[in-house]
Amino acid sequence: MISSIYKTSDNFLPSRIKLSLESSIKEGLNFNNTLKIFFRADDIGVPSKNFSRMMELFLKYGIPLSLAVVPAWLTRKRWEAINALAGKDQDHFCWHMHGYRHINYETRGKKQEFGPGRTLEQVQNDILNGKRRLQSILKEKFTQVFTPPWNRCSIETMQVLKKMKFKGISRSYDSLPVPPAGLEDFMVHVDLHTRKEKDAEQGWEGLLKEITKGMQSRTCGIMIHHMRMNHNAFIFLEFLFEKLLAYRQIQLVNFNDLI
Ligand SMILES: [Zn+2]
């Protein structure tokens, strides 16, 4: 499903939005002398037109990207196709783990793959199997950071991650519980493509609020869902890249730079 903000055809990105984005960035930089920003792309594992277009855009601007790979979706053949798109600029990309099968096991409440609906044994098995699968296919390109599907998981899951030598976890801003010491918390502030607002007006307002909040943090995380992108969503992402690259105080990083 495409978010409402990208569905308007006439005068996409009116100057009002451009100006608001600009002032959000400036306002944030008043808080911080330097600001680190990472982009995290979820639901990786299957090559597609949108996936290729996303990779091309990041390469064109030389912007780092952390890619959350679903172990059960990835095959050696798919990895060959995906990895070929990274070309020679391998350092830009940080490949890490996004759940195991990306399935919701909760019968009520919010969706989770690693929530209270799983036993400790199930959690341990899935994390171990996912890690082994990614290590065997990605080899040294696999980074031990975990992005739980739907940005949430139990404290038991985080303890298992720590025990299995994962270095960090990436969830939404202000997620609880806090991870155990030694497991870095890479919070995501901005959701570019899975917005829930009913109309474009509210959608832009919500997105710009998240950007302002993110820019006021020392490290701002921006989430991407390539499968939910249309042409307008690519135009906005490119516009955002140009804005961010204009500031010397902004340092664009991936998880490998943060652990
Ligand atoms: Zn996901």
Q: Where are the domains of the chain?
A: 12-102+115-258
> How far, in Å, are 38, 76, 81, 183 from residue 92 at the CA level?
11, 21, 17, 22
Distance CA 120, CA 109 (A): 20
Distance 59 CA to ligand 1 centre (A): 23
The segments of the chain whose pLDDT lies below 50 read none
The correct CATH number of 12-102+115-258 out of 3.40.50.360, 3.60.15.10, 2.30.29.30, 3.20.20.370 is 3.20.20.370
Per-residue pLDDT reduced to its tens digit, 88-139: 778 899 999 999 999 999 999 999 999 999 999 999 999 999 999 999 999 9
What is the amino acid identity at position 158? M
What is the amino acid identity at position 53? R
- Is residue 80 within 8 A of residue 106, CB to CB? The reply is no
Distance 151 CA to ligand 1 centre (A): 8
153's CB contacts (< 8 A; 6+ apart) are 112, 113, 114, 115, 169, 171
Distance 101 CA to ligand 1 centre (A): 10
Give residue 8's pLDDT.
Answer: 76
Distance 76 CA to ligand 1 centre (A): 20
Give residue 115's pLDDT.
Answer: 96
pTM: 0.96
